[in-house]
């Protein structure tokens, strides 16, 4: 065995669960994941929803088998607090970009409150040019940074709540928003400015929550580094199931669980299980458990359970 092969296999300790990081300013989400993985010595890690470098706050870090539940975390509602600056449009819709238009208009509280209801519910939003979405096979932000015109198609998004929190001065306004998957706060700021007859861009953005992951459970990188591999760090480790709170559970027998672990479909026979499966219906996702432990995420198909993500816990 070569030294290179040995190095590839020395990948760390199997740690399973979620850690809520309070991401600092200036750090990319991927680098934040790498830092957490190194501090804990974890074998595998990912995150449950990208935060821009200029954003801070909740970044759920999936460790080990929790990486199999990342898509559910990314689909969860998210809450943000953000500050926008009136009177300037920037090509990135945040403070990093170049000023591309200016306006002397500074809306007051009454004008702002009068338009907020227009942004509640399901609506079409045009993503920022500086985004990770692909256009003709290339990342939009790569095209925009190279000076090419980027016009992304509007996408259907949902905003559940939007509140004006503070007007610290005529140039700035602070808001809190609860939004669904795929909503860009930078685009929301841009659209608020246009609706109010001016321009706007985001100057500060803090994520308050992602589904059940909130700031009250978060730890900073600095504090995590001070705890390192100690038992105290494990206090911040949440269960794999934390991201699956909205998914119904079904308790199986050990024999049925064994078949799921082997990648085989299962048709439970107990009347109570049959009734639950019929109630949920084909296509529903279910957490299959045995002895209180998560075995697999399964799909109901033709009255049976088909494994989608098998957990090795």
Q: Are strands 249-251 and 285-290 parallel, antiparallel or unpaired?
A: parallel
Q: What DSSP designation does 128 have?
A: P
Residues 130/90, Cβ–Cβ less than 8 Å? no
Partners of 301 in the beta sheet?
Answer: 304
Which of 52, 91, 93, 94 does the annotation list as catalytic?
A: 52
Nearest alpha carbon to residue 23 among 234, 221, 204: 221
> Which three-class secondary structure state does DSSP give residue 296?
strand
Partners of 101 in the beta sheet?
Answer: 89
| CA max distance for the chain | 71
Nearest alpha carbon to residue 175 among 144, 149, 200: 200
Q: Could you tell me the sign of the dihedral formed by the alpha carbons of 256, 75, 117, 172, in that order?
A: positive
Q: Is 245 a catalytic residue?
A: no
Active site positions, annotated: 52
């Amino acid at each position: 065995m070569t030294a290179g092969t040995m190095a590839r296999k020395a990948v760390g300790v199997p740690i399973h669960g979620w850690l809520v990081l309070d991401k600092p300013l200036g750090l990319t989400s991927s680098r934040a994941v790498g830092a957490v993985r190194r501090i804990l010595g974890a074998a595998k890690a990912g995150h449950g929803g990208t935060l821009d470098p200029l954003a801070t706050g909740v970044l759920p870090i999936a460790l080990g088998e929790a990486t199999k539940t990342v898509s559910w975390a990314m689909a969860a509602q998210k809450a943000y607090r953000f500050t926008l600056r009136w009177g300037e449009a920037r090509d990135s819709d945040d403070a990093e970009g170049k000023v591309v238009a200016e306006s002397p208009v500074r809306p007051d509280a009454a004008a702002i409150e009068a338009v907020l209801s227009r942004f509640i519910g399901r609506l079409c939003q045009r993503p920022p040019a500086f985004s990770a979405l692909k256009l003709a096979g290339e990342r939009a932000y790569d095209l925009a940074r190279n000076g090419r015109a980027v016009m992304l198609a509007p996408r259907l998004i949902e905003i559940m709540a939007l509140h004006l929190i503070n007007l610290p001065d005529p140039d700035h306004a602070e808001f809190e928003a609860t939004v669904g998957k795929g909503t860009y706060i930078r685009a929301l700021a841009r659209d608020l400015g246009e609706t109010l007859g001016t321009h706007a861009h985001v100057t500060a953005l803090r994520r308050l929550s992602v589904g059940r992951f909130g700031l009250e459970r978060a730890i900073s990188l600095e504090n995590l580094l001070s705890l390192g591999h100690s038992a105290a760090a494990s206090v911040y480790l949440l269960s794999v199931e934390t991201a699956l709170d909205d998914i119904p559970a079904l308790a199986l027998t050990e024999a049925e669980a064994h078949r799921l672990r082997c990648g085989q479909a299962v048709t439970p026979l107990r009347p109570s299980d049959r009734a639950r499966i019929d109630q949920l219906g084909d296509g529903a996702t279910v957490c299959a458990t045995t002895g209180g432990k998560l075995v697999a995420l399964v799909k109901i198909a033709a009255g049976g359970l088909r494994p989608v993500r098998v957990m090795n816990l």
